[in-house]
Amino acid sequence: MNEAYYRPVSIEAIEPDIFPAMPLYLRRDGNHVLYKGPEQRFAVTDRIRLEKNNVEFLYVRTGDLEELTEQLEASLPAMLGREDISGTAKGKILYQTAINYLDDLFTEPERTANAARCRDIAASLVRYATTERRALAAIASVVPHNYYTFVHSIQVTALALMLHADLGHPGDDPVEVAIGSLLHDFGMAFIPREIINQPHSLKDVEYLKIKQHPQFGYDYLEKLGVYGDTPLAVVRLHHERSDGTGYPLQLKGNAIPHAVQLVSLCDVYCALTTDRPYRKATGHSDAVRLMREELRGAFDREMFRNFESLMGRIVENG
């Protein structure tokens, strides 16, 4: 079977008493080799052994992905309340579950019609990101490099929720902000994979195609009639800029909803600090400097000052 028949799972997100019984595979020389059958449960000793051999991911068959995602999603509320699982481990399980969910939506966009499912995951992300001091640190290890769109969406969501809590804006429901953040790049599901994954800078015609993704995502979700104004605005307007240089509507200043401005700010930072197919990630200091100097006017000044202060504390605390 080829790569399309398997999905990666971080070994750090495989909690023995939460992860369902299903075959797990290793990837060797481009092939997937059975590591454990469903009757052989993954144990802590497996994780230790794999880490010693520099193995970061095991794989599940795509046919098992739905069962895996359903079980992990169902266990999230109870898992987040457990005291015998560390905060970092909770984050890795939660983010892996959210990544599986996004993978599901990008494969079958019609599943976005289940808004309750999205709300449940968003509520878990709110609970975790606003109470766990190192909520961003758990993300890096759960997604391989070719899953940029998914890891980016989770990063944006975690950071947006932390900034939302820091700003204390009463007009924005954090769960609605989380839903919008999770789905902000949903329109990418309608962009050809060869454009998204190509290993070089985009040509003009390709960039114009990419710029259609906010409207594509908005049009699809708005027709469903199951998402609120905040998520829909985030999906459609997250590339707008305070100085009017954004798209698709070239809105300015307060014409851009507060929640959208918040997510947009986090979106740019996360895009800069994450590896892309055609460039390496920018470091924190350089990313903030670029946003402050080269993108001057793109963001609300007060919000950016709060963001810069928050990121300084996050980086300082590891």
Domain locations in the chain as residue ranges: 1-63, 86-316
Averaged pLDDT for residues 214-226: 98
User: What CA–CA distances, in Å, run from 143 to 106, 138, 313?
Assistant: 16, 10, 25
What is the CB neighbour count within 10 angstroms for residue 207? 11
The neighbour count for residue 6, using CB atoms within 10 Å, is 20
pLDDT digits (tens, 9 = 90+) for 279-298: 788 989 999 999 999 998 99
pLDDT band at 201 (very low <50, low <70, confident <90, very high): confident
Does the model's pTM come out above 0.75? Answer: yes
What is the C-alpha to C-alpha distance for residues 76 and 97, in angstroms, rounded to an integer? 9
Q: How far apart are CA 244 and CA 209, in angstroms?
A: 20
- DSSP designation for 84: S
- Provide the pLDDT for residue 275: 77
pLDDT of residue 299: 96
Q: Does 146 or 302 have the greater pLDDT score?
A: 302
Determine the pLDDT at residue 288: 94
Question: Residue 171: is its pLDDT beyond 50?
Answer: yes
Predicted local confidence at residue 4, as pLDDT: 67
Task: Please check whether residue 183 is in contact with residue 235, taking contact to mean a CB–CB distance below 8 angstroms.
Answer: yes
Residue with more model confidence, 251 or 89: 251
The pLDDT value given to residue 51: 92
Of the given ranges (70-79, 111-120, 210-219), which has the lowest mean pLDDT?
Answer: 70-79
Q: Which pLDDT score is estimated for 1?
A: 44
Task: Say how many Å lie between the first and final Cα of the chain, rounded.
Answer: 40
How many CA atoms, within 13 angstroms, populate the side-chain half-sphere of residue 192? 9
Instruction: Answer yes or no: is pLDDT of 261 > 60.
Output: yes
Pairwise CA distance, residues 228 & 171, whole Å: 14
> For 171-188, what is the mean pLDDT?
96
Q: In what order do the strands lie in the sheet with 31-36?
A: 6-10, 57-61, 24-28, 31-36
Question: Who's near 133: CB < 8 A, 6+ residues apart?
Answer: 87, 317
Mean confidence (pLDDT) of the chain: 90
Residue pair 128/91 in contact (Cβ under 8 Å)? The answer is yes
**Superfamily (CATH) of domain 86-316:** Hypothetical protein af1432 (1.10.3210.10)
